[in-house]
Every structure is written in structure tokens, then in C-alpha cells.
Structure 1
Amino acid sequence: MNQLLNDALPIDAAAMLLGLGRTHLLQAAVAGDLEIGVSLQSLIGWKAKRDAEGKAIGEPSEAPIVEQRQDIGMNVEIGFWTPAERFSHKWPDGTIEEYGKSFKADVQVNGKSRTIYIGITQRASAGLDDRARAIVFYNAPPKQRALVEFSGNGDLTTTTKYASPIKEQGGHTHVRLGQSVPAAYNGMATCIFSEIIVGPYAANSVAVVTDIANRDAMLDIMAKHGIIRGVHRGWL
């Protein structure tokens, strides 16, 4: 028994034994509050100390878990959303996807006029054969270009939230828990993608999240995420 208490534990085993989420322990490690690979005895003592202090697991003492870094200038104004005509998009692998439900809005990005289209569809993704998807495009069809994709937490009839991973500024790599998020996302709700989009191959990345309660607010968030990505990539 003493050997078990003193052996170093993998993070998944530690989370299971303490009844905590893996993400919570990772947050604690990022906050500098806990070392991964400590013994069960140390983990029990650490959790008891946090409980006695009334602090949430993973709550940092000073600095935030995710810091934001200096961003390039960005001034975005989004107009009114209106239904758009049905359109299709051909992906690089040759797949043609139809968007029977879509919306459009005129936007100003750093003084330049653009039109943003958001197409709603469903396709096989992360363990669901018909997961809801929302794709943000710029330019009118048929010359549209995809900026970002959002995944729903169900199909088109059950989805209540959409999420889309955030990528490093100008790069292709997802931002992970504890890494800096581009400052343009300041004030936008974020989550861990795999905690909203549950299923095989769902990325364990920081993501923009929005719900369907207010259609225009949801579309604004989707569009802003796409615009940020487009500006960072030099497309807008």
C-alpha cells in the first residue's frame, strides 16, 4: 500500500482516482500549482489543501492560465445578417458540399469592404454521421473562400453549441491549453474543443464557442473568428 501511495502516477490515472477531469489537473499544472507525475499521496494532500483554501481545482494564484499576446491591428464592423441563396463549395479533396441554409452580411475589415457568408450543413465528424457544421466564407459564391469551420455538439436538430479551434497567429497549429491566444480573441467566449464536441478525434484545443440562443450574436461570433483567421493569414 505504501508503495502504491508513493509511486508516480500518469495524469489520466491521477484524474480518475481523485474523481477530477484531466483538464482540471492540466490547468493546475499550467498554473504552477501541481507537478504532473507526483505520487497519489501527494495528490491527496494537494487536493485537501485546495479544498481547505476554498480554491477551485486549476485556479491559478496570480497569472491567468492562458495569456494573450500582442496582436496586429484589427478593426471589424459587421452589418446585418440576411438569409443567402443556397450554394455549394468544392473542397480540395474534390468533395462538393451543399449549404441549403446560409446567411450573409457585409463587413468592414480595417476599412475594406467584404461580404461574409456562413453555410450550415451536416456531415460525418468526431463520431457522428450527421454532425452540424457551420463554415465561414468570404466573397460571394461561386468564388467564396473558406476561412474557418465550426462543429456542433449534435446534429442540425439537437445542436445547442458550436465550437471551432483557435490557431496560432499566422500558423496552422492549434492553440493548446496554457498557450497564448491571439489578442484579437479578447472578450470572446472560449472552451476546450473536445469538452463541447465529444467524440473520437475531437481536438483537445482551445476553441471559440457560441450557442444558438441568439442567431445574429452566434453569426457575429462565427464571422469574427473567420475574419481574425483571414487577417492573420493575410487573406483579408
Structure 2
Amino acid sequence: MTRGISTIGFDADDTLWQNEEFFRLTQDLFFDLLRDYAEPDHLAQRLLQSERRNLGQYGFGIKGFMLSMIETAIEVTDARVPASVIQQIIEAGQEMLSHPIHLLPHARAAVEAMGEDHRLVLITKGDLLDQERKLAQSGLGEMFDAVEIVAEKTPQTYIRAFMRHGDGPERALMVGNSMKSDVVPAIEAGGWGVHVPARYEWEIEKAEAPVDHPRFRAIPDLSGLAALVTGLRG
């Protein structure tokens, strides 16, 4: 194994496969459905407020997003939103839940390369059934030694995951697109955090990069992961 690192954690959505892009497309449809009631910028602000407010109840994922869209539609129309619009929002959410998985560039090669000398753990948050569906469709499931589908990603999440499936966070590295969920808490847990930016970034997942921390790294895409890990000295 690479010196000091025995376990590699991978995020799933927008790290291994596309995700936020489909949320953006559905959000654009939502704006179009309610164009007679509010401007897109106002709708985006109200929808984000609903999502923030509802995370504690609905968690992360498509179902919570769909419920937040319905709630926002009711609010901005003073409960006058037509049932046909509600139906179209539900149908859009159902389409998202059945949308085929599209792996991001270099995802399969990166997972394969890391799996040669490291234990691999998929650590993702969101709806259990949807995350399991996406993993199954991705064709990557058998490459991972363990899968953790969690409600939230905190330092304790990573401590537990890397203690359970590895040699602890000090010898673990987490790879993901979210600074807030994948990188910062993994570093706070004592591990390495590698940021791989996605095309789109959800406002709720934004955080400052810990650029001065010795265990922070950033690469433009997954093609550079193998060389980065090889070069690290824990």
C-alpha cells in the first residue's frame, strides 16, 4: 500500500457519476411551470430556503427536493398552484429517480487503480433506496470493500467509517466534490481530503477550502488521483 494510506473513501454523487446536473434541469422545469407567479431568481431563492429548512426532516436527495419544490410552489402562489403543476413536479421527481447513471470521466479507472493497493469505501449521503439503485447501475459496486450510506457527513461519520473499514482516519483519504461534506470533515477527522470539483456546486454544499492544511489536496479531475496518492507521504 502507499505509505501511510491504507483506505480510500469515495463520494458518489458528482464525484463518480453525474447528479447535480439533473437537479438543475428539473429546477429549470420548475421555474418554467411557475413563470406566471414569480421570476426565476426569486423562485431559486425561495426554493433554496425551503431546502435548507427541510433538510432536518427530509434529508438529502431527490424526494426531499421534490417535496421542497411542492412546498415552494404552494407558498409563492398563496396556495393557488394548479393541481396539474403539482402533478408535473411529482412526475419530474419520479423521472429523476429512474434516470440512468452516467459515470464521470476517469471514474472507473480511478476506482480500479485505487483498489489495487487500498481498501475502498464508498461514503455517500442521501436516500437509501436511490443511492443503492445508482450504485447498482454504476457497475462500480463490486469494486468497493464497503458502502456507507449516511444521513450527514461529519467528522464522526468519517471516524466511524474508517475505523470500521480501515485502520482509522489517520491512514485514510477521502475523495469528493463537496468541500463541506467530503473534504473538510474528513480532514477534521484526522484524514486526508482531496477535492475534485464538479461542473455544478449546490449552494448548501459550499465551504471554504482549507488551503493551508497539510492534509488538503485538490485535483482537476479523477485522472490525477493515482499519481497524487502515490506521491503522498502520510
TM-score interval w.r.t. the shorter chain?
under 0.3
User: Higher RCO, 1 or 2 (CA under 8 Å, sep at least 6)?
Assistant: 2
TM-score normalised by structure 1 residue count: 0.26
Q: Answer 1 or 2: which has greater helix percent.
A: 2
TM-score normalised by structure 2 residue count: 0.26
